Amino acid sequence: MKVTTAIVQGEFIGLEVEVVRSTHQGYVGIKGKVLDETKNTFLILHDGRRKRIPKAHSTFRFHLPDGTIVDIDGALLIGRPEDRLKKRIRRRW
């Protein structure tokens, strides 16, 4: 899969995710499946427990269904999932 801005506008619920960077060191290394998404957070199932991770100060590594692994800055993901579809995103790569 070609990495495009469409990935940022996509659906993340159900994908495998890992927190690779965060301003809060306790969040780094949390990995699991995305259970829910709000405007500012992801709810991740990590070792049988639910962890709510803020998007603003974290970088996430998503494992897409086709095997592609993508790192996305959480600041790009802020907003309700339905509103991200309407938002224009400038390419930074």
* Gyration radius of the chain over CA positions: 12
Walk across the sheet containing 41-46 and list its strands.
49-54, 41-46, 31-37, 16-22, 58-63, 69-73
**Dihedral of the CA atoms 9, 42, 19, 46 (nearest 10)?**
-130
CA distances, 52 to each of 5, 27, 30, 68, 92 (Å): 25, 9, 10, 24, 27
Domains, in order of start, for the chain: 5-84 (2.30.30.210)
Query: What are 21-59's pLDDT values in tens digits?
Result: 999 999 999 999 999 999 999 999 999 999 999 999 999
Q: In the predicted model, is pLDDT for residue 83 greater than 90? A: no
What pLDDT is attached to residue 39?
93
Q: How far apart are CA 61 and CA 21, in angstroms?
A: 9
